[in-house]
């Protein structure tokens, strides 16, 4: 039996979940699943409450209700975002017909006409409420446009189109907020993993990522073939991921939250990589100036 609104938690009333057809238990399950992805397993009630306070609860519940096929929620979603998406699509494509096609195609995906195992599937289930729903939708729209643009121009580099390159090279608001939630544990975990890596691996990572040398240049410096450098770099990165994942689990993250943190955009990490990758000595340049 559903609780009366007067007995519901404040966050449930503020989220408008009941108006969108989501019972308290359903809304609670949505929030719990998001917390499991972004908070350590030992997070206390105060930390969970603070995390929930940062969420766009009303937009989150609207999105999830739409994903479940609630007609009233979808009608409100359409009224709020249909015109905005078409406007954003026109800014991307600069063509009215293509813009309408792009926006309507995305809306179709969001509506969730496809099913998997008899269940409704919608991209709106991926929205976590960590940034604005409009920003998240525009990021999806931009990525859909980029994918279409690449399919039509397979031989043309994305970098030749500045406005598209900017869309995929800059993290969207939702991604930034999600990564900020995991950054508190990811940064020290990665620093610890780098400290545990052996000196040769740290040197290789330093030469490639910080000094900007290519495989051939590193091979000449270390007097090995570039294919050997490539294999060693792959091993170093695989080991770094393994050590970081282990450290995140040791710090209390659940497996799902650990995998989410491992996908964080490294541009948003506040970590002194040069200090973390410090090695005893870096080989001098070869006399050939490689």
Q: Are residues 127 and 269 in the same domain?
A: no
**Residue 243 within any structural domain of the chain:** yes
- Both 270 and 199 in one domain: the answer is yes
CA dist 111 and 83 (Å) reads 16
**Domain tally for the chain?**
2
Please indicate, yes or no, whether residues 143 and 219 belong to a single structural domain of this protein: no
Does any domain span residue 242? yes
Q: What's the CA gap between 232 and 202, in Å, rounded?
A: 11
CA dist list (Å): 25 to 1, 12, 16, 159: 10, 10, 14, 47
Containing domain of residue 31, as a range?
A: 10-170
Last residue of a domain, one of 170, 201, 216: 170
Predicted pLDDT of residue 288: 42
**Same domain, yes or no: 26 and 136:** yes
Whether residues 197 and 113 share a domain: the answer is: no
Say if 290 falls within a structural domain. Answer: no
Q: Are residues 22 and 166 in the same domain?
A: yes
Q: Are residues 209 and 108 in the same domain?
A: no
Q: What is the pTM of this model?
A: 0.54
180-191 per-residue burial string, b: 16 or more CB within 10 A, e: under 16: ebbbebbeebbb
Q: What is the C-alpha radius of gyration for the chain, rounded to an integer number of angstroms?
A: 23
Q: Are residues 29 and 62 in the same domain?
A: yes
Per-residue model confidence as pLDDT tens for the chain (290 residues): 344 445 678 889 889 999 999 999 999 999 988 888 777 777 788 888 888 888 899 999 999 999 888 889 999 999 999 888 888 888 878 888 888 888 888 888 787 665 556 666 788 888 888 888 888 888 888 878 777 766 665 444 444 444 444 444 444 444 454 445 555 677 788 888 888 888 888 888 888 877 778 888 888 988 999 889 888 988 888 888 888 888 888 877 777 777 766 766 554 455 666 666 654 334 444 444 33
CATH classification at residue 218: 1.10.10
Q: Are residues 147 and 119 in the same domain?
A: yes
User: Do 162 and 101 lie in a common domain?
Assistant: yes
Q: In the chain, count H helices and then E strands.
A: 14, 2
170, 195, 214: which is the final residue of a domain? 170
CB 102 within 8 A of CB 93: yes
Same domain flag for 148 and 218: no
In a domain, residue 112? The reply is: yes
Is 229 strand, coil or helix?
A: helix
| CA–CA dist 172, 187 (Å, integer) | 20
Whole-angstrom distance, CA of residue 203 vs CA of residue 222: 10
CA distance 161 to 92: 11
Domain match, 228 and 160 both:
no
Judge whether 3 lies within some domain.
no
Give the per-residue pLDDT at 259.
73
């Amino acid at each position: 039996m559903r609780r009366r609104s007067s007995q519901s938690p404040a966050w449930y009333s503020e989220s408008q979940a009941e108006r969108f057809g989501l019972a308290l238990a359903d809304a609670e399950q949505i929030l719990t699943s998001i917390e499991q992805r972004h908070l350590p397993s030992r997070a206390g009630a105060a930390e969970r409450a603070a995390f929930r306070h940062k969420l766009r609860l009303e937009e989150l519940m609207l999105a999830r209700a739409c994903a479940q096929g609630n007609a009233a929620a979808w009608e409100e979603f359409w009224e709020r975002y249909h015109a905005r998406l078409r406007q954003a699509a026109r800014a991307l494509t600069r063509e009215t017909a293509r813009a309408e096609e792009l926006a309507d195609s995305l809306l179709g995906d969001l509506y969730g006409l496809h099913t998997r195992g008899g269940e409704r599937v919608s991209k709106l289930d991926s929205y976590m409420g960590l940034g604005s729903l409009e920003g998240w939708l525009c990021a999806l729209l931009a990525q859909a446009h980029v994918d279409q643009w690449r399919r039509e121009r397979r031989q043309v580099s994305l970098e030749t189109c500045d406005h598209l390159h900017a869309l995929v090279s800059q993290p969207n608001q939702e991604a930034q907020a999600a990564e900020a939630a995991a950054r508190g544990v990811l940064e020290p975990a990665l620093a610890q993993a780098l400290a545990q890596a052996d000196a040769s691996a740290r040197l290789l990572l330093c030469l490639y990522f910080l000094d900007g040398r290519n495989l051939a240049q590193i091979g000449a410096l270390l007097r090995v073939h570039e294919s050997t450098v490539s294999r060693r770099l792959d091993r170093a990165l695989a080991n770094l991921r393994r050590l970081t994942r282990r450290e995140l689990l040791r710090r209390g993250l659940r497996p799902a939250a650990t995998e989410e943190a491992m996908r964080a955009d490294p541009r948003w990490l506040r970590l002194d990589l040069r200090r973390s990758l410090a090695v005893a000595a870096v080989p001098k340049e070869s006399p050939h100036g490689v």
